[in-house]
Amino acid sequence: MNRLTPEALPNLPDSVVRPEYERNCVPIRIVHLGAGAFFRSHLAVYTDEVMRKGDTRWGIMGVSLRSPGVDRALTPQSGLYSVLEQEAESVRARVVGSLVEAVSLVEEPDRVLRTLIQPQVAIVSMTLTDKGYGYDACADCLNQDDPAIARDLANPKQPRSAIGVLAWAVAQRKRLGYKSFTLLSCDNIPANGKVLQRVVEQYIQATQEAFGEKELLRYFLDQYACPCTLVDRLTPPVQEQDVSRAAQVLGVQDAAPVVTEPYSLFVMQDWFSNERPAWETVGAVATAHVSSYEKLRYRLLDASYLAMGYLGYFDGFTTLYQAYQNPGIRQFVAGLMDDAAATLGKRPEYNWHTFKDEWLRRFDNPALRVGTDQLRIETSHILMYAVVPAVADRLRHGLDIDRHAKVLALWIRWLMQACEPGAEPLSDLRAGMLLEQVSAAGGAQGDPYNIVNNVLSLEAIFGAKLSKNEEFKRAVTAALQQSMVAS
C-alpha cells in the first residue's frame, strides 16, 4: 500500500477532508514543543482550519523533546497525518497539513534553535505535561533541582529542556533585535500561562549574566506574552488497530495517525506579543476571562471525571463509557454538575447548561478508550481546583455537599485500600503524605472518622479553613461509612 504523501492527496476518498492550500510555500511561523498526539489532534487542527480558510502563513514545526519517533514517522510524509474522529461506529477522517516540519530536539538541537530565532516565528506553543515545566507547584517556583533544568542552568547556551530552549531563544532574539514571539502553553494546567511565565522568568533571572544580557529579565517581562489557555480533547494513545483503520479509511498507509473524539475546546486569553492565526474563526474562544472558563471546566467536568473514576472502580467498571452506562452513576454525575454550577455565579460569557449537555454527550461515546484508572491519577492535585473550592462555596452559602462528600469518601476509601500489603502504588505526587495520614489513623482497619479527620486536615490540599470545618468532616465521614456498608 502506498504511503500518505502530498502526491497521494488528490486520490483520497471524497469523504476525507484534506489541505486544499499549497503547502510548498508555507512559512514556519509556529514552533511547537512536544509534538505528541494531543497537539496533533488539537492546535494543529485549529491551525489547519485557519489555513483552509485562506490564511496560509501559519506553518508549524513540531519538535519532539525526548527520543525521536513521531518525527521519523512524519518526515517521509512531509508532515502530513490523519485525524480519525470516532463516535460510536462512525469515523470522520481528515488529513492535516499545518505541520510542515517534524524534528527531534535530541537528534537535531541546532536545527530547532536556528528556527526559533528566525524573525518570522511569531508563536512558540507547547504541550509539555506538568513535569516538562520544571515547576514546583507547592512552592510556586522553578524547581532548580529538576535534572533537566539543573543541566541547562549549568549550560544555558546549549539548552536541552523546553524552558532552557525558550530562555535561549529570548536572549538571542534580543541580541538580534527581532520581534518577540508569544509563549503559548496548551497543557491542562490551571493558569498555565502564569505558570509558564513564572518558570521562564526565574530561569532567565538565574542565567541572564551567563547570556551577557543583564537586562534580559526586564526585556522578557516587557515584551513576551504568556497567555493562559483552556484546552480539551480526549486523545488516547494510538494502537495497531488505529493504524489499520486509518489505512482502511484513507486507502494509503499513514505511519502517524491520531485518534480522537468529535468534541474539542480551545479557549485562549487574547494577549499575544506578535501576530496569531484567527483561531476564533474556526471554533476557538478568545477572551479576557479564561479563568471563568477554567472554573466551569474544572468544577463540572474534572470533578465528574473523578466521580466516575471512583464510582466506576468500586462498581467494577474499567472504562469511562462503561461507568456512565450505569443509571446510578449517570444520575449522580448530572447532579454533581448541577451542584457545581450553583457555585459559578453569573457568567455572561458562557451558558453552563450548553457545556454540561456537551460533556454528558461525550461520556456516551463508546469509541472513547478512557480507563477509570486514568481518571484516578493525581487525584489530590485535581481535588484542589475541581472539588475543594466548590465544597467551600456550597458550605458558605448553606448548600448541601452530599455529592462532593461522596467523591471524597470514595477517594479516601481508595487510600485505605492502598495501605494494604501488596496494594498497587498510588499515582499521586502526595502519595507518601496521604498514606502516612491514613496509616496513622489505623489504615484499612481504622475508624472512619479518624481517617477522614487525618486526611482532610491536610492544609496543602484543603486549605486552612476547610481542613478545620467540622460540618465538612462529618459529611465525608457519613459518606465513607455508607460506602463501606454498601460494599
Single-letter code of the amino acid located at 146: D
Task: Indicate whether 216 and 348 sit together in one domain.
Answer: no
Task: Indicate whether 297 and 223 sit together in one domain.
Answer: no
Burial class (CB in 10 A: 0-12, 13-18, 19+), 161: buried
Distance separating alpha carbons of residues 388 and 306, to the nearest angstrom: 13
Distance separating alpha carbons of residues 277 and 266, to the nearest angstrom: 13
Is there a domain that residue 364 lies in? yes
pLDDT for 137 equals: 83
Task: Indicate whether 97 and 126 sit together in one domain.
Answer: yes
Distance separating alpha carbons of residues 143 and 156, to the nearest angstrom: 16
Q: What angle do CA 131, 462, 333 make, to 5 degrees?
A: 85
pLDDT for 347 equals: 79
Task: Indicate whether 268 and 318 sit together in one domain.
Answer: no
| Helices 402-418 & 327-341 angle (0-180, nearest 10) | 120
The answer, yes or no, to whether residue 155 has pLDDT greater than 90, is: yes
Q: Which residues neighbour 113 within 8 Å (Cβ) at sequence distance 6 or greater? A: 159, 165, 168, 169, 172
The three cell numbers of residue 177 are: 533585535
The residues that bridge with 230 in the sheet, in sequence order, are 267
The answer, yes or no, to whether residue 487 has pLDDT greater than 80, is: no
Q: Per residue in 60-97, pLDDT tens? A: 999 999 877 889 999 999 999 999 999 998 999 999 99
Task: Indicate whether 207 and 107 sit together in one domain.
Answer: yes
Distance separating alpha carbons of residues 233 and 437, to the nearest angstrom: 35
Task: Indicate whether 185 and 301 sit together in one domain.
Answer: no
Task: Name the pairing type of β-strands 81-87 and 90-96.
Answer: antiparallel
Q: Which residues neighbour 252 within 8 Å (Cβ) at sequence distance 6 or greater? A: 1, 2, 3, 4, 5, 8, 11, 12
CB 57 within 8 A of CB 134: no
Is there a domain that residue 147 lies in? yes
> Which SS3 state, helix, strand or coil, does residue 149 take?
helix
Q: Which of 301, 231, 234, 229 is nearest to 268 (CA)?
A: 229
Is there a domain that residue 430 lies in? yes
Q: 271, 287, 303 — which closes off a domain?
A: 287
Task: Indicate whether 101 and 188 sit together in one domain.
Answer: yes
Task: Indicate whether 281 and 304 sit together in one domain.
Answer: no
CB 4 within 8 A of CB 252: yes
Is there a domain that residue 1 lies in? no
Q: Which of 307, 303, 282 is nearest to 294 (CA)?
A: 303
Q: Per residue in 310-361, pLDDT tens? A: 999 999 999 999 999 999 999 999 999 999 999 998 877 899 999 999 999 9
Task: Indicate whether 283 and 299 sit together in one domain.
Answer: no
Distance separating alpha carbons of residues 221 and 211, to the nearest angstrom: 17
CB atoms within 10 A of CB 209: 11
CATH code, domain with 184: 3.40.50.720
Q: Which residues neighbour 222 within 8 Å (Cβ) at sequence distance 6 or greater? A: none
Task: Indicate whether 97 and 215 sit together in one domain.
Answer: yes
Q: What is the DSSP letter of 298?
A: I
Is there a domain that residue 472 lies in? yes
Q: Per residue in 269-311, pLDDT tens? A: 999 999 999 999 999 999 999 999 999 999 999 999 999 999 9
Residue with cell 484567527: 278
Q: Which of 223, 205, 222, 202 is nearest to 214 (CA)?
A: 205
The mean pLDDT value for 161-173 works out to: 98
The three cell numbers of residue 487 are: 460494599
- Per DSSP, the residues of 37-76 read HHHHHTHHHHHHHHHHTT----EEEEEE-SSSSHHHHHGG
Q: How many domains does the chain have?
A: 2
The mean pLDDT value for 456-485 works out to: 96
Q: Which of 433, 336, 481 is nearest to 394 (CA)?
A: 336
pLDDT for 72 equals: 93
CATH code, domain with 429: 1.10.1040.10
Task: Indicate whether 241 and 367 sit together in one domain.
Answer: no
- Residue 205: give the domain boundaries: 6-287
> Which SS3 state, helix, strand or coil, does residue 105 take?
coil
Q: 220, 253, 287 — which closes off a domain?
A: 287
Share of residues in the chain with pLDDT > 70 (%): 100
Q: 287, 313, 336 — which closes off a domain?
A: 287
Kindly indicate the confidence band of residue 382, based on its pLDDT and cuts at 50, 70 and 90.
Answer: very high
Residue 427 backbone zone (phi > 0: left; psi -120 to 50: alpha; other: beta): beta
End-to-end CA distance of the chain: 54
> Which SS3 state, helix, strand or coil, does residue 303 take?
helix
What element of type H or E holds 322?
Answer: helix 320-324
Task: Indicate whether 409 and 346 sit together in one domain.
Answer: yes
Task: Give the helix ranges, DSSP H, for 155-298.
Answer: 162-176, 192-207, 216-223, 240-250, 290-296
Is there a domain that residue 46 lies in? yes
pLDDT for 64 equals: 96
Q: What is the DSSP letter of 137?
A: T
